[in-house]
Structures are given as C-alpha cells and as structure tokens.
Amino acid sequence: MSISKRPPFFSLALLLLAYTATGWLISKIYTPWYMWILAVIAILVLTGALTTSWIRLADFSFFLFKSNLRSFGLSVLAAFLFFLMIARFRLFLDVLLIAAATALARIDFQTVGFNEGQTFCLLSILSLMGFALGALVHKLI
C-alpha cells in the first residue's frame, strides 16, 4: 500500500476522455430520453462489474455453470454476442475502449489502496461526468 492515497491521474484522464467521446457520439445522433437512461444504467453496471471482487464473480460463474440448461443458454448468448461483435465492430471497439479504461483505473485504484466502495463511487462519478461532459460539449458546439 502506498504512503498516500493519491488518485492515479493518468488513468482517470483516459477514463474521462473515453466517456467524453462516448457522450459526444451518443449526443451526435438523435437519441430519445430513455436511451440516455439506459446508457447511464449500462455505465453503472459496467463500473460495478469491474469493481466487484473476483471471489464474488467466481461464485456467480459456479452458479451459472451448475446445470446443463444454464450452460447451454450461456453458450447461445455468447455466440449471439460474438455475432453482434462481428456485425457491429465499430460499436464493439468503443465498448472495448470504455471497458479497458475502466479496468485500468480500477487496477490503479486497487494498487493505491482504495477499497471497492471508494473505487466504485469515484469511477462512477468520473464516468458519468465524462459522459455528461461529452454531451454538453456537443450541444454547445
């Protein structure tokens, strides 16, 4: 653990830029209000999934693969997601960039010594701020 709890500014800047670009892209096209709410929920789910401890994820994966029906359903879902990844490659790259920036920030926060709750709060706030900043900048320009 580090002597002081200084936030990792480089990874936070990358996170802010990734979400700002995403907010810009979403505001560039006409999006109804419920799509903005779904985007905010997706941001919070992604941040929560990446800040959860690996032990909880392992327990959840054991639950998913306990029966053959669930394993088959998960395989079909994975095949469908792979199809979507190939069909919408540009969207996949944007989501991959966001996930990578969030994972990098989470790892840096863990290295500095922040706990899961602090990491989730800070990453959620910065992600939503970047998302809103991108939409605001697009509206102003």
What's the average model confidence in pLDDT over 71-99?
89
Residue-wise pLDDT for 3-34, tens only, equals: 566 778 899 999 999 999 999 988 988 788 89
Q: d(Cα 32, Cα 29) in Å, to the nearest integer?
A: 10
Distance of CA 112 to the CA centre of its chain: 20
pTM: 0.80
pLDDT of 91 reads: 84
Q: Which two tokens stand for residue 133?
A: 């900043």
Q: Where are the domains of the chain?
A: 9-140
Q: What is the mean pLDDT of residues 92-98?
A: 90
Q: Tell me phi and psi for residue 22, to 5 degrees.
A: -70, -45
Report residue 1's pLDDT band, with 50, 70 and 90 as the boundaries. very low
- Rounded alpha-carbon distances, angstroms, from residue 127 to 20, 89, 90, 105, 119: 8, 23, 20, 11, 12
Q: How far is CA 139 from CA 30, 37, 130, in A?
A: 12, 18, 14
At 7 the pLDDT is 75
DSSP state of 88: T
Is 80 exceeded by the pLDDT of residue 53?
A: no
Report pLDDT for 59.
74
